[in-house]
Amino acid sequence: MNPDKIYPRNGNNGKESVYLKSVVTDPDIIVGDFTIYNDYVNDPRDFEKNNVLYHYPLCNKERLIIGKYCSIACGAKFMFTGGNHSLKSLSTYPFPVFPDEWGLDEWHCADAWDNHGDIVIGNDVWIGYQAVIMQGVTIGDGAIIGTHALVTKNIPPYTIVGGSPAKEIRKRFDEATIQKLLELQWWNWHAEKVKANISNILSGNISQLIDQNLTNNE
């Protein structure tokens, strides 16, 4: 288990998936350990170029923050400020981006757009095929974003959403279980501890997972 390597899988199609943390170079894109991106169309190492759109942090002071153990499907997009023209202006045309052309004194690119801030993705989030996440959105831990969903609002933890715009379909678990998972935060465990508890995680045995955590913390 090495979250710093590029490819988590060997064999056929092994280079379709990458540990995202190992291929991102932009300091304003922050990715947690073991988060994967799969792309069978383009090289997944080009995530930063192909999937993070209109991201100009020097101008707009915005970040993409993705937690640990997330699964991001092929073609998922993160849409930032530069793709969201200002609604304060009488025109949606981005005049401030072209100051010389329109006789503006300075280049104030931030005036061309409405900035709603960072995109924040929690831990253990599954983002489906070609979903689009808009700027300013926070997605809670354990959430699932359906195929082709357009996410324009915050998504609570362990909530399944789909559609355009995305709407809640259902919760993954009952509220008591969700609260236990949020308190447990297994994604912050050492990788060896996660490995030792794989069977409980995969089987949904949260009682045993809690017992193991209490035992290991004694």
- What is the b/e burial string over 61-87, where b = at least 16 CB atoms within 10 angstroms of the residue's CB? ebbbebbbbbbbbbbbbbbbbbebebe
- Respond yes or no: is residue 116 known to be catalytic: no
117 and 91 both lie in a single domain = yes
DSSP 62: -
Residue 75, pLDDT above cutoff 70: yes
- Indicate the range of 16-20, 88-92, 180-184 predicted with least confidence: 88-92
Count of C-beta atoms within a 10 Å radius of residue 154: 13
Residue 218, pLDDT above cutoff 50: no
> Total structural domains in the chain?
2
139 and 72 both lie in a single domain = yes
98 and 150 both lie in a single domain = yes
Q: What is the CATH number of the domain that holds 79?
A: 2.160.10.10
99 and 32 both lie in a single domain = yes
Residue 5 covered by a domain: no
* Closest by Cα among 26, 47, 36, 29 to 6: 36
Residue 109 pLDDT level (bands cut at 50, 70, 90): low
93 and 163 both lie in a single domain = yes
107 and 181 both lie in a single domain = no
213 and 134 both lie in a single domain = no
Q: Which of 85, 108, 148, 190 is catalytic?
A: 85
63 and 76 both lie in a single domain = yes
Q: Which of 59-73, 121-135, 199-213 has the highest mean pLDDT?
A: 121-135
- Indicate the range of 51-55, 74-78, 94-98, 170-174 predicted with least confidence: 94-98
210: domain range?
174-218
